[in-house]
Structures are given as C-alpha cells and as structure tokens.
Amino acid sequence: MDDIHKILKKYWGFDQFRPMQEEIIRAVLDRKDTLALLPTGGGKSVCFQVPAMAMDGICIVISPLIALIKDQVEQLKKRGIPVLAVYSGMHYVEVKKTLQNAAFGNYKFLYLSPERLETDLFLEFLPAIKPCLIAVDEAHCISQWGYDFRPPYMRINNLRQELPTVPVIALTASATKTVQEDICEKLNFSKDSLRFQQSFERKNLSYSIFSPSAKETKLLEILNNVKGTAIVYCKSRKHTQQVSGLLGMKGLSADYYHAGLSAEERTAKQESWINNQTRVMVCTNAFGMGIDKPDVRVVVHYDVPDCLENYYQEAGRAGRDGKRAYAVLFYQPNELADMIKLVAIRYPSAEQIKKIYTALMNHLQIAAGGGEGNSYDFDTPVFAQHFKLNILEATYGIQALAQQEILSFNEIFFRPSAVMFTASKNDLSEFEKLHPELEPMIKALLRSYEGIFDFSTTIYEGLLAKFLKTGKDQVILLLRKLHQYGIIQYQPPTDKPQVFLIKSRMYSDDFKIDARALELRKQEHEKRITAIAGYINDSKSCRSNMLADYFGAPHGPKCKICDNCINHSQQDLSAEEFQHLYERIISLTGKETIEINKLVKLLKPNKDSHVWQAIQYLQAEDLIIQDSEGFIKVKI
C-alpha cells in the first residue's frame, strides 16, 4: 500500500487519507464492486482517482452534470494527471478524436455523461479502451426511488455486460437504505461486493431551525453575527435576486446565481465568490455542485428544501475546513402545506402528460414519426405562455417525459461554436481569388480543424484570433461573412436550454407511459416530504442524529451544538452558572480574539452545551461576533 500513499502525496499533497478512504481504495484494488457513501466534502473523488492511478489502464468515470465533469477534469489537469472527457455539445469529430486518445493514448481518466454510453461510436472504441475501473459518481441518480432519478443512468448496467470483469465503484453523499439496495441491484454488483458508509456526524457543524416573523431580518442578524463566506439557498430565481438586492442595500457584499444566467455570468459570479470578492451567494440549488470552498461559515436555507437529501448535501457545504460553521433553515408553517399541495403538480396524470407532450411537439413543429435524435433550443416560460399552461405544470410534465425516456431536457446546456464547409474545394479556390480578405480565415480553419470539410466541427473563436493575430470580434465578423456567402455553415455558441428527442413523435393513439412507475415515484416523494416535515417539527431530538437515522448511518452521542441540544440543556443551566459564563466570555474575548473551539476549552469544566448556549445568546444579543476565521470577539 506504499504506492497509494506515494500517489496521494505526489498528486494531492496529503500525507494521510481521510477516514475510510484507504479501506475503500483497498477494496477497489482487490477488484471488489464497492458502494461508498461519504458525506459532502468527505473526499469521494480520491476513492476512485487514487486506485485508478495505481492500476494499469484507464478509469471510466460516469457523471451526470457537465459542470461537475468540467470541474473534476480541470482539477486533475492541474495535478498533472492526463484526463479526457466526452459530454453533450461535442461534435462527432471531436468525440471520435477523444475516444481514439482514450484507446491508444497514455490517459488515466475518461469522463462521460451517461447518455454517451450506448452510442455506436463509443461501443466501437470500447474494446480498445480496455478500462481498469468504472466509477459511477452521484450513484443515487440510478434509483427511481431516489430524489434525483436520471433514466440515462440505467444504461450503465449495459456497460457492465460489455465489461464483466471490470470492477465498479459507486459513490454518493446521500442515499437511504432503500436507494442503497437499488444502486447495488441496478449496477449488478457481485455477491462479494463491499459497502462503506462514513458517519454523517459533522462535529463542527451546528444545525438550527427558525420560524421567524420576518425572514429578511433574521437573515441579516445571522450574517452580521457570523462573519465570513455564506450561501443562502432560495427556491425561485426571482427570490435569489430579491434577497441579494436586500443584502446589498444593507451594505453586504452579495450576488445571486441561478440556471437562467448565461454561462459567462455564472462563471464570473462563481469565481468572484470563490475568490472572496463576493461574500454571500444567494442561489437556487443550481449552485454548489462540484465547488469545494472550505471556508464557508454559514449556509442558510431561506425556503424549505424539497427533501432531506438536498438539505444535507447543501448544508454540508459549510465548514469543510473543520472550523465552526452553521447550517440554518427558515420555515413558515404554510410552506409545508404548500409542498403537499404541489405534489399533484409535480406528478401530473397520464392524461396531463399526454396533453403537454402534444403541445411540446406542436411547439417544436415536429411531424408524427419524426424528430428522433434531434436537439431543439427550448424556453419553458415561452412554451407555457403559448399553450396557456402553468409554468410548473409544463416543467414537471417535461420532467415526466424525460423519466419515461421519451426525451431528455438539459436546463444548463453549453454548446460551443461549430463550423462545417458547405462549398466544394473547387468552389472554395475560386472564392478565395474573388475575396482575398477572407482567405486567411479559410486557411486558419482548414489548418486548425481536421475533418471540417466532412463534419460539423467544434471551433474556438479565441484560438482562431490568436492564430490570425487579431481580435475575437473580428474573427466572429469574418465567420459570419463566410456563412452569408454560403462557404461555411457557422453555428455560434449557445447556452440555451435544450430538448433532445430520444424517440420520434408518437401518433396520438400510440402514446403510452408507465403510469404505475409515476405513481410509485409520487408515493416516494410524499415520504420525503413527511421526513423533512418531521425533521423541522421535532424540537427534542439531536438534529445531527436525526439526519444519520434518515440515511441509515451510524452515529454517536448527541452533537451538543444544534439548536435542540442547546435548548434542551437550558433546563439544567442555573442562572448563577449562566452569569458566570457570561462574565468569563466577555472577559476573555475583550482582551483578544479567540478561536471558538479554544474558547470552549478555556471555559472547562463547564459543559460544552452550556458554553454554546451562552455564546449563542451573546451572539443573538449582538454583544459578540464570530469572524470569517472562526474567532470570537467583543463587538465594538
């Protein structure tokens, strides 16, 4: 095992593994099918990346989100590890070249979106690729009983049929016992497979729930008392802008983020937050996946999340550096009632789904029997307005069609620019004589992109600008001119949502869906609502233990730092002890700033829960504050 420690040190810079990582890696190297359940920030990627580096061959990594793939690819490249990726939006020639490199080059990882697994091109190259390991990231997506079921994940089992001797590691941060069993079954795990589940306990993370009369006021109070980077999750895009604007008016550095922004806007906002230029990111759940920022001090759920799986993953983005952090959830009683009412909209009837399907096909102008394999730009609000549909009904109806594998829908989809020559080589030669000002651009395209005469090829205007020693705007102008002359077909980049038809448009009488599966998923969703309602309404149990119980994970004693644990300890905290703690905390923090965990130790032999109670009271009274590094000081 010295090899894996050397690999860890050389590429990741760590001297030792985190808890359970080494046991998981040993299992993979023993060629055991392995299910690894590690909490958010628990280092899941190391569990397949390190053993793959120790094995001969390439590791195929299946991941659901392009943003997640790009993030991991970038991280591996920074470590000097050769890596490839194939995902939606890439053109044929580019995909073929990538798969050729995977088969015959010296690469260690090939990242794929699940939709790519059954393409003829991938299956053609698969025997030559000879993978040593298959890693299934976000493995809960394979279970129709999970909160984030994605039908393309079901195709992974077909890959196993092609590669029966190649071990599989499935990784997820949040899966109930039912979902865990389903993952193992759907991935056809061997009888001697192993399962590892790390404790869901986060000793530095304090969970709390509030039902404030004014959420805005409570949010400002929390952000003023707990300094440092923050995330505020909202359910609607409109809400992210409203809350961000409110914080800005109060002098806080805040921005908003949601899937409706352009790729450039999302990247700029994310980078500003990661680099601490923006303190508070107010966002939908489109933000956070693949982001590993260790110093987030507080995560606030401004609205009740859909399920405990989402809540645990999102709250777990706080305090990854091991310092004290806070996960706060706001709720109003009507929110839980609204979630129950929304179930009927989220799971439309078969008749309603058929109505939405017919409207969608008409909107995209697809004739019966046509459309299979084609992608279409799609704007859900425009579609809903045009056919007088509730936007939520339209959204969930399309999701239901995706779950039935009739189509797929990518809300965040980036397709780079593409060019294909439409003129013959003879016509091109004549054109260059008549338009010498466009000849350099034609030559640049032909020299830079192989196969551009035969296939639509991904191009990058910025690289062409460097090649021609001119500006990017000038390159775009020249490409558009060539397009207008009919010399090339130029497709500018887009990050619009896309609908992809898996099946041709069905005739009305042939339209069929699995109504039983829809009903079962609806029942599972109702169970998840019941679970999060129970979590919110329970004012006695330790919140950390409640989360562990929900996921069937082991847990230790009470955390002593969640709101319930602290409130419970009030009954045996005398007025005299509280006064003593009050005076000691003010005295200690008045002389110097003290790291919060050190302060707790200095106040021994008082119970930790009593100390935390006193600290939270002083913060609520605005007498002390916690800075971005987790240090406590008297507020001046």
Lowest-confidence range among 190-194, 450-454, 561-565, 587-591?
Answer: 587-591
Residues 624, 633 contacting (CB under 8 angstroms): yes
**Spatial separation of the C-alpha atoms in residues 379 and 473, rounded to whole Å:** 27
* Cross-strand bridge partners of residue 62: 112, 136
**Would you say residue 111 has pLDDT above 90?**
yes
305: preceding bond cis by omega (within 30 degrees)? no
Tell me: the pLDDT tens digits for 37-90?
Answer: 987 777 899 999 999 999 999 999 999 877 788 888 988 999 999 999 998 667
User: What tokens does 265 get?
Assistant: 């806007």
Cα angle 205, 208, 214 (rounded to 5 degrees) comes to: 135
Q: What are phi and psi of 207, to 5 degrees?
A: -90, 140
Please give the Cα distance from 422 to 512 (Å, whole number): 41
CATH no., domain 339-414+496-524:
1.10.10.10
Separation between Cα atoms, residue 595 and residue 593, nearest integer Å = 7
- Please say whether the beta carbons of 153 and 141 come within 8 A: yes
Q: Where are the domains of the chain?
A: 2-197, 205-331+538-559, 339-414+496-524, 418-491, 573-634
What is the per-residue pLDDT for 2?
A: 56
Q: Higher confidence at residue 434 or residue 617?
A: 434
Does residue 109 have a pLDDT over 80?
yes
CA 459 centroid distance within chain: 27
pLDDT digits (tens, 9 = 90+) for 210-269: 999 999 999 999 999 999 999 999 999 999 999 999 999 999 999 999 988 887 888 899
Give the Cα separation of 35 and 197 in Å (integer). 8
Supply the pLDDT for residue 410.
74
| Structure tokens given for 247 | 């914080």
* CATH (one of 2.60.40.10, 3.30.450.20, 1.10.10.10, 3.20.20.70) for 573-634: 1.10.10.10
CA 516/CA 493 separation, integer angstroms? 40
Under CATH, to which class is 205-331+538-559 assigned?
A: alpha beta
Q: What are 350-365's pLDDT values in tens digits? A: 999 999 999 999 999 9
Per the CB < 8 A criterion, the answer to whether 322 and 200 are in contact is: no
Cβ neighbors of 490 (< 8 A, separation 6 or more) are: 417, 418, 419, 479, 480, 482, 483
Tokens encoding 171: 């990784």
Cβ neighbors of 188 (< 8 A, separation 6 or more) are: 157, 160
What confidence category does residue 573 fall into, taking pLDDT thresholds of 50, 70 and 90? Answer: low
The span from the CA of 560 to the CA of 564, in Å, is: 8
**pLDDT (0 to 100) of residue 8:** 95
Least confident of 422-431, 449-458, 472-481, 568-577: 568-577
Residues 6+ apart with CB under 8 A from 51: 4, 25, 28, 29, 133
**Confidence band (pLDDT; 50, 70, 90) for 149?**
confident
> Has residue 570 got a pLDDT over 70?
no
Number of H helices, E strands in the chain: 26, 22
pTM of whole model > 0.85? no
Separation of alpha carbons 284 and 412, rounded Å: 13
Task: Report the length, in residues, of the chain.
Answer: 636
According to the model, what pLDDT value does residue 412 have?
60
- CATH code linked to domain 2-197: 3.40.50.300
User: 3-class secondary structure for 149-170?
Assistant: CCHHHHHHHHHHHHCCCCCEEE
Nearest Cα neighbor of 246 from 254, 237, 238, 236 is 254
Domains 2-197 and 205-331+538-559 share a fold: yes
Question: Per-residue pLDDT for 605 more than 80?
Answer: no
User: Could you tell me the pLDDT band of residue 1, with boundaries at 50, 70 and 90?
Assistant: very low
Cα–Cα distance measured from residue 236 to residue 211, given in angstroms and rounded to the nearest whole number: 19
- 517/17 Cα distance (integer angstroms): 42
